[in-house]
A and B are shown apart, each in its own frame.
Chain A
Amino acid sequence: MDGPNRAQERLEVRAPEMELIKQAQAGSRAAFDALVRQYEQQVLRLALHLTGSEHDAEDIYQEAFLKAFRYIGNFRFECSFYTWIYRIVTNLCLDQLRRRKTRREDQAVLLDHSGDEIDLLASVSDNRSFSNPARELDRKQLGEKIQAALGKLTPRERMVFELKHYQGLRLRTIGEMLNTTEETAKNTLFRATKKLRTQLAGLR
């Protein structure tokens, strides 16, 4: 349960954020660094899940925050800073997915910075008393199949599915982030789920 520290944390995040943004716009590096710390986990989480690669996630993090630093003067408080940052990150992720499609780099497993495979499912605790290595292997293979199926979507379909299913954003917000309409985001989601259901039909 949240304690007093969490309330204080909320106050520290919410109340001075506007001041931080204004200070960063005025050129304060310390203020910008504080903003980076507030959002870096979310940025990396999204980039890592989309690209499956720590190296690519690191590149996206770098480009996103450098862009934010360069263009923070354009932020007009018309939306939350979270939405603004996410818009930058999603566009960079989209570019990365398109580059992969062009180079036909399908990522079926998650790689760390030295190129070794990361077992995602090892980080997901299994509380069932009957879990066993064979079942864990099945889950791992299932996870790889899911990633492979996701890799077969178009970049836009992959992005919309990621933002909707894994990040829980509303279709209206997704449309804004991808500079399109809610209706287009909706249709893209339909196509993505239809393709995934077809590819994963044998696994049910």
Chain B
Amino acid sequence: MNCELAHEKIVLAAYGELPDDQIHELDRHLTACYDCREQREQVLALRTLAAMYPVVEPPANLVARSRIRLEEALDALPPKRWYERLSTRLVNNVASLQAAPVASVLLLVAGMGAGSLGGYEYAQGRAAHTALRPALRITAAQPAANVAPADVASISSIVQQPNSDIVEVRYNQLVPQRMQGSLDDPAIRQLLMMASEDAASAGIRDDSVGLLAAECRAGHSCNPAGIRDALMVALRYDRNEGVREKALKGLEPYVAEDMRVRDAILEALLNDSDARIRSEAISILEPVEADTTVRQVLSTVATSDQNPQIRNVSREVLSRAPEIQ
């Protein structure tokens, strides 16, 4: 290692950015090179000096002033017009469908079918409609049946028969569908990934995340653009701790090779409300305990976690990891 390279590595090491395998190489160079040891002292001194300009919390009146000014500006913004809201919604839907091509095809087919049926029904309705004023009428077409609200997609019309208490309500119904296939089937995987984010029931999210996580742990194709991302979203955002725990376990095989996975697990260790998940995160991070970022987080957890057992385990892991200068 030449001195120019060593100077750069000294800066990286001072900021915890030097890969572990290069720290030993740098140490060997520093042992033999006085000038570079001086450089290191200067870098460390710079860090001490820079602390003389500390980061301070913003004063409360600055926060309050800023907030009031922002609220006034937001209040002054004109409300979005319907076509702007529609455009935003369409763009968002297109973007989310781009990540789910099979789902988008299914939705396209369903949409075309619903549109055709709706057009046919509308034409039928218009043809059967006798001369009446355009005001809404409420008539009965068939005896009312118990309809579960969850099955109703939307209400399309309400018509009352004149001088009668009979009401006809036209509604569109959700048509339950069923798909069966192996876990290797991309269509099944797409639906499972959708379920991991959108399912209203925690049980369904739990099942979908559990299956996706099992695929990853078994070493099946778990490419970064799909399942791994869905698991990281579940770990970060799901309300249910069981779902988050399964997502965490599914990400375990990738903690060494994928820095995004490592970061997501470190976030869970720092921020998850469930002690079991934070404890599990420590176990998963043990193979990479020599990573300086991991050590920094463990140091924070060792002093600030509310759970004493987690604090103890963090200290134990830190004491086992090799000393890093």
- Interface residues of A, Cβ cutoff 8 Å to B: 1-4, 6-8, 10-11, 13-18, 25, 27, 29, 32-33, 36, 40-41, 44-45, 48-49, 54, 57-58, 61-62, 65-66, 69, 73-74, 76-78, 80, 112-113, 120-121, 123-124, 139, 142-143, 146-147, 150, 164-167, 170-172, 186, 189-190, 193, 196-197, 200-201, 203-204
Chain B min CB distance to A188 (Å): 11
Pull 11 A–B residue pairs with CB atoms less than 8 Å apart, ordered by A.
A45-B55, A48-B56, A54-B59, A58-B65, A61-B70, A80-B236, A139-B52, A166-B50, A171-B17, A172-B259, A197-B42
Contact B271 A124 (CB under 8 A): no
User: Which residues from A are CB-within-8-Å of B56?
Assistant: 45, 48-49, 120, 123-124
- The answer, yes or no, to whether B58 is at the interface (CB within 8 Å) is yes
- The dominant DSSP class at the B interface is helix
Stretch at the interface among B88-96, B147-155, B246-254: B88-96
Contact B304 A2 (CB under 8 A): yes
In whole angstroms, what is the CA distance A27 to B92 when docked?
13
Contact B259 A10 (CB under 8 A): no
Identify 8 new A-B residue pairs, CB closer than 8 A, beyond the known A15-B239, A190-B7: A44-B58, A49-B53, A57-B66, A62-B70, A65-B70, A66-B73, A172-B259, A193-B11
Chain B min CB distance to A152 (Å): 14
Query: Quick one: closest B residue to A13, CB to CB?
Result: B271
Q: Would A48 and B58 be within 8 Å (CB), given that A15-B239, A66-B70, A147-B53 are in contact? A: yes
User: Which residues from A are CB-within-8-Å of B271?
Assistant: 10, 13-14
B272 contact from A14, A41, A66, Cβ within 8 A: A14
In whole angstroms, what is the CA distance A124 to B59 when docked?
14
Chain A min CB distance to B209 (Å): 14
Chain B min CB distance to A204 (Å): 5
Query: Quick one: closest A residue to B87, CB to CB?
Result: A73
Per the 8 Å Cβ criterion, residues 58-77 of B in contact with A are: 58-59, 62-63, 65-67, 69-71, 73-74, 77
Q: Would A197 and B306 be within 8 Å (CB), given that A15-B237, A41-B58 are in contact? A: no
- Interface residues of B, Cβ cutoff 8 Å to A: 7-8, 11-12, 15, 17, 42-43, 45-47, 49-50, 52-59, 62-63, 65-67, 69-71, 73-74, 77, 80, 85, 88, 91-92, 95-96, 229, 233, 236-239, 259, 267, 271-273, 293, 304-306
Q: Would A77 and B233 be within 8 Å (CB), given that A8-B273, A14-B271, A197-B43 are in contact? A: yes
User: Which residues from B are CB-within-8-Å of A147?
Assistant: 53
User: Which residues from B are CB-within-8-Å of A13?
Assistant: 271
In whole angstroms, what is the CA distance A146 to B54 when docked?
10
Across chains A and B, which 3 residue pairs bring their CB atoms closest together, nearest first?
A: A2-B306, A44-B58, A18-B237
Contact A1 B306 (CB under 8 A): yes
Contact A200 B11 (CB under 8 A): no
Query: Quick one: closest A residue to B237, CB to CB?
Result: A18
Contact A17 B74 (CB under 8 A): no
User: Which residues from A are CB-within-8-Å of B58?
Assistant: 41, 44-45, 48, 54, 57
Chain B min CB distance to A122 (Å): 10
Contact A62 B62 (CB under 8 A): no
Contact A186 B12 (CB under 8 A): yes
In whole angstroms, what is the CA distance A61 to B46 when docked?
30
Contact A120 B62 (CB under 8 A): no
In whole angstroms, what is the CA distance A182 to B59 when docked?
34
Contact B67 A36 (CB under 8 A): yes
In whole angstroms, what is the CA distance A124 to B55 when docked?
9
Contact B273 A73 (CB under 8 A): no
Contact A146 B239 (CB under 8 A): no
Contact A165 B66 (CB under 8 A): no
Contact B70 A142 (CB under 8 A): no
Q: Would A146 and B49 be within 8 Å (CB), given that A77-B233, A190-B8 are in contact? A: yes
B53 contact from A40, A80, A150, Cβ within 8 A: A150
Q: Would A200 and B66 be within 8 Å (CB), given that A3-B306, A15-B237, A171-B17 are in contact? A: no
Contact B49 A40 (CB under 8 A): no
User: Which residues from B are CB-within-8-Å of A65?
Assistant: 70
Query: Quick one: closest B residue to A72, CB to CB?
Result: B88
Q: Would A10 and B273 be within 8 Å (CB), given that A142-B52, A197-B43 are in contact? A: yes
Query: Quick one: closest B residue to A167, CB to CB?
Result: B55
Chain B min CB distance to A30 (Å): 11
Contact A6 B306 (CB under 8 A): yes
Contact B52 A27 (CB under 8 A): no
